[in-house]
Amino acid sequence: MVTRFKNRSEAGRHLARELGHYDSRYDVVVFALPRGGVPVGYEVAQKIKAPLDVLLVRKLGVPGHEEYAMGAMASGDVIFLNHEVIAQLGISDEEVEGVIARERQELARREEAYGRNRRSLDLAGHTVILVDDGLATGSTMRAAVEAMRHHAADSIVVAVPVASPSTCKEMKAIADDVICVMQPEMFLAVGQWYEDFSQTTDEEVRELLQKAAKNMRTIAPAKASLMI
């Protein structure tokens, strides 16, 4: 049994084995959360023969303590706010709006960088598998699930190689299916469960998306119509 992943690609292969029941289904689309979720999502998409796309989600960090999330936002201006955290820390509406404005700009930059300049998705009739490299607080994944509900996905699956047990449990309340390969009790951060947790670059994201699209045309041309 794996206790630590060598890298995101290996983690994706382990995750893919847990998603075999979605193999070769024409209604399934894999959405990876950039940047770290893309190498994981690529392995999943290849294994189950599904299209791969990205759903851009940004953590909304507490001003002055950006590593601590007070919410998240996804493409299409879908915003999730943790009002309990905001109230406890006394964060003003103006501060919240300032963080949202800054992250909105970064989402737009990444949409352009990845060639995903779109604001509307029609996912009716589709099962969406949302993939990231792990879940700590789960703020970004909550925003991703909310975005998929907004875009009318029929079914939403949250799939990650590793997650905090409490966060994985929370995901089960908002998603239709949840796959967490590892749920370590002594969970501090996602990176501790990877030997190599180096940052994924924008170029790597673009290359994997292009490679995935090419592979899908080779494996099953009819599935190309599922690419969003």
SS (H, E, C) the chain: CCCCECCHHHHHHHHHHCCHHHCCCCCEEEEECCCCHHHHHHHHHHHHCCCEEECCEEEEEECCEEEEEEEEEECCCEEEECHHHHHHHCCCHHHHHHHHHHHHHHHHHHHHHCCCCCCCCCCCCCEEEEECCCECCCHHHHHHHHHHHHCCCCEEEEEEEEECHHHHHHHCCCCCEEEEEECCCCCCCHHHHECCCCCCCHHHHHHHHHHHHHHHHHHCHHHHHHCC
Residue 160's pLDDT band (cuts 50, 70, 90)? very high
Residue 131 lies in a domain: yes
If one counts the domains in the chain, the total is 1
Q: Which amino acid is at 35?
A: R
Residue 190 lies in a domain: yes
- Which residues on adjacent β-strands are paired with residue 55? none
Residue 46 lies in a domain: yes
Residue 27 lies in a domain: yes
| pLDDT of res. 1 | 66
Residue 84 lies in a domain: no
| pLDDT of res. 196 | 97
Does 144 have pLDDT greater than 60? Answer: yes
Domain range enclosing 33: 8-56+123-226
| pLDDT of res. 222 | 38
Q: Tens digits of per-residue pLDDT, 63-117? A: 998 878 898 888 878 888 989 999 999 999 999 999 999 999 998 888 888 877 6
| pLDDT of res. 165 | 96
Residue 108 lies in a domain: no
Residue 22 lies in a domain: yes
Residue 96 lies in a domain: no
Does 47 have pLDDT greater than 80? Answer: yes
| pLDDT of res. 217 | 66
Q: Tens digits of per-residue pLDDT, 209-225? A: 999 998 876 544 434 33
141: domain CATH number is 3.40.50.2020
| pLDDT of res. 58 | 87
